[in-house]
Structure 1
């Protein structure tokens, strides 16, 4: 074998080795990408608040759970403050139908409706406001019409800024456009859903309310024997 043939064989061997290394590197990258997906999902599942996972599993129709926005504060282990979870979603249908769908889903998921005396809701609100409890959690469900439903200008007819204030049609114009003849389009259908979840031990509404001694309020208690006939016969001190 000549020196030239030996050099050519060495070049071919080096090329084959580089190709083999490229294939090995590509295979490692593919394995890493395939393994990264389940690892990411596992980490996300482990770190995600289980309450939101439970809310995700509620058997509500798709039309009642759109545009989901979650918020959380506090500590999951109740360090200083217990965790407070809040979810806001939009529904395509009316508040009555939406509230019914969510209440049925909560019952099917093991939640029990409860109403502490005068504390659910915490203040008078519009729409449907109900309170629920399951295990160590409490849940507030508020379903109402969207904010645009209270707009006093909603549904009023549009006004052409170039129209004559007297109401007379312009001489050079024919029939006014259709958007100037019809009222404004009502695009305020559907409803808004708010879900608030607390730890029961941190929900003040479940704590027994202490009785208030009338003497602490600065008011004199009513006489006990207001109908006692002997009270009028008791001489007053001089």
Structure 2
């Protein structure tokens, strides 16, 4: 009686070395693809979470929306010559909130220039604001304060100083002029605009009040009489 012949397996006819290394190469390729995908994922994450915010942060610093709104104010060209902008603080109010300052020259009088800017601010949605310290100290010219949403604005229009710029680091020599000639050469006005976040403006917070009845009253008056009074004799023992 014959024994049934068992079918040979596919690996039975392969040498031992071939069977042991059959899946090595595909596994190596799989590990290499996983590493490549991980590197690509890390690179994309760095771009999204680092590069993109940095890019928009630089754009915000270059074109602050407040300065854009000041550019869009409907003021005459004669009242907005040579703007000079200055920025300080953080736009996210880290330590200090952002402070925007702009200085421009006007060809006409401070009174006419102030009227032009006040009309433009009202048209742009700014509302007159009269806090306790506007300005913090007495200033020459027209000084007004304004509010719009989360921002406050200080507008200061005054006569120019008319001091020539320094030459090679040394003060310029001002020639002696008669008053009429000096008045003709020193015309126009100077405009300063200061915009800050309302939460960082101390004038938006309640100011401490003092009771007038307590003003000038010494809480520790000098005692004219001996506070101990006369000594009481001790009883005889």
TM-score range, shorter chain: 0.5 to 0.7
Range with bigger deviation, 102-111 or 47-56: 47-56
- The answer to whether the 8 A contact 1:127-1:144 is kept is yes
| Higher Rg | 2
Higher relative contact order (CA 8 A, sep 6+): 1
* Residue 189 of structure 2: aligned partner: 191
Structure 2: runs of 5+ lacking an equivalent:
1-57, 164-173, 220-228, 231-237
Shift of 1:155: 4.4
Q: Distance in 2 between matches of 1:214 and 1:130?
A: 29
Which of 60, 66, 69 does residue 75 from structure 2 map onto?
60
**TM-score computed with the length of structure 1 as normaliser:** 0.57
> Is 1:130 matched up with 2:128?
no
Q: CA deviation at 1:219?
A: 3.3
Structure 2 counterpart SS, 1:101:
helix
Query: Equivalent residue for 1:116?
Result: 131
Question: Residue 209 of structure 1: CA displacement?
Answer: 1.2
TM-score for both structures, normalised by structure 2: 0.58
Distance 1:107 1:77 in 2: 27
| Count of aligned residue pairs for this structure pair | 155
Q: Once the 2 structures are TM-superposed, how far is the Cα of residue 184 of structure 1 from its aligned partner? A: 6.1
Q: 2:156 aligns with which of 138, 142, 154?
A: 142
Q: Using the alignment, how far apart are the partners of 1:51 and 1:76 within structure 2?
A: 11
**Structure 1: 4+ residue segments shifted above 2 A:** 43-47, 152-155, 182-186, 210-221
Q: Point out the more displaced range, 187-196 or 43-52.
A: 43-52
Whether the 8 Å CA contact 1:155–1:183 is kept in 2: the answer is yes
- Cα gap change, 1:94 to 1:200, in 2 (>3 Å): same
Structure 1 gaps, min length 5:
1-42, 158-181, 222-236
Q: Measure, in 1, the Cα distance between the counterparts of 2:101 and 2:114.
A: 17
The superposition leaves residues 87-134 of structure 1 with CA deviations (integer Å, 9 ceiling, x where unpaired) of: 0000000000000000000000000001113x1111100000000000
